[in-house]
Amino acid sequence: MKTIIFFNNKGGVGKTTLVYHTSWMLAELGYRCLSVDMDPQANLTSMFLSDDELERIYSAELNRETILSGIKPLDRGIGDIARVKIHPIEDRMGLLAGDLELSLFEDKLSANWSKCIDGDEAAFRIVSSFHRIIQQEAKAFDADFCVIDVGPNFGAINRATLISADFVVVPMAADLFSLQGLKNLGERLGTWKTEWKDRYSRNKAQDIQLPNGDIKPLGYVVMQHGIKESRPVKSYLKWANRIPKVFNEYVLRHSNVPETRVENDANCLALLKHYHSLIPMAMEVRKPIFKLKPADGAIGAHYQAVINAFDDFKSLTNSIIRKATT
């Protein structure tokens, strides 16, 4: 089982939409996929579940069927991780729902990250809780892939989640702020991996399944670029063609790499179009855009765009699979 986290500390780049569609395409290609919503805003959860289901889940005061239920015993100091309900989406798809109250766990994660330096067993249980919950439920679901969504920040929740993943995919927009976010991400990933390696060696509790923290960058996806004759338009190229060098230098830590155009960069997993009116149409019927039907409103040019979207996401997902399994 491979765990893949989609992360960029620059918001507004279509990250959650990308997680949603990649999850669906993994299932479409025959893989069992467990989607994990680790963003306290729970936007991925709201994309998957109906309004009635969301109201039922979040109106519960106790035993809420979200990731929160897995950490409650630890948060209250009365035990270790607990089971989390896997919400069935389709035969090969399941969801661990997010929760706004997850943000209240941030301070405890942060404090215990420091305590791990002292070899504190309880601290290791708390910091590794997300990793152990994801592994526990992935095994129960017999998942081939876990696809994880997190918020756009460098907080303790994201740190604990990132060190638990095997791979990271970086959604990008072709602009100045996304490039700066890419630099920040590369530097912070390096710091967290180093800090966790030191803490990992200090663990005294042999019964705790800790993540190794050796997260590997799979590549990046450039989202919502303009299209002209199947190529990004000139206004985007100024920024898009700077991505390969920044990704190599700051994320992969490679120096003296020859400059290349984004469409020729081996680290570029995909250049995805902005699908405009297809996105709200898909959200209305809670489907990925590549599964829209004429009955959903995808007619004429929209239906051709649906066919194109299927090819785009299939190509992207196959690239992710290939890189994650070789």
Each residue of 99-111: pLDDT tens digit? 999 999 999 999 9
Q: Which two tokens stand for residue 283?
A: 């959200």
pLDDT for residue 98:
97
**How confident is residue 14, by pLDDT bands cut at 50, 70 and 90?**
confident
Mean pLDDT comparison of 60-74, 155-169, 230-244, 300-314, highest-scoring range: 155-169
Question: Whole-structure pTM over 0.85, yes or no?
Answer: yes
pLDDT for residue 79:
87
Task: Calculate the alpha carbon distances from 124 to 42, 139, 161, 215 in Å.
Answer: 26, 21, 14, 18
Mean pLDDT throughout 58-86? 91
**How confident is residue 259, by pLDDT bands cut at 50, 70 and 90?**
confident
Topology of domain 2-276 in CATH is: Rossmann fold (3.40.50)
Mean pLDDT throughout 119-127? 94
71 versus 283: the higher-pLDDT residue is: 71
Residue of 111, 141, 136 lying closest to 126 (CA atoms): 111
pLDDT for residue 205:
80
Angle between helices 68-76 and 129-141 (to 10 degrees): 140
Residue of 83, 97, 207 lying closest to 140 (CA atoms): 83
pLDDT tens digits for range 228-242: 444 556 777 888 999
Please determine, for residue 34, whether its predicted confidence score (pLDDT) is greater than 70: yes
Domain residues of the chain, as ranges? 2-276
**How confident is residue 46, by pLDDT bands cut at 50, 70 and 90?**
very high
Q: Which two tokens stand for residue 112?
A: 């215990």
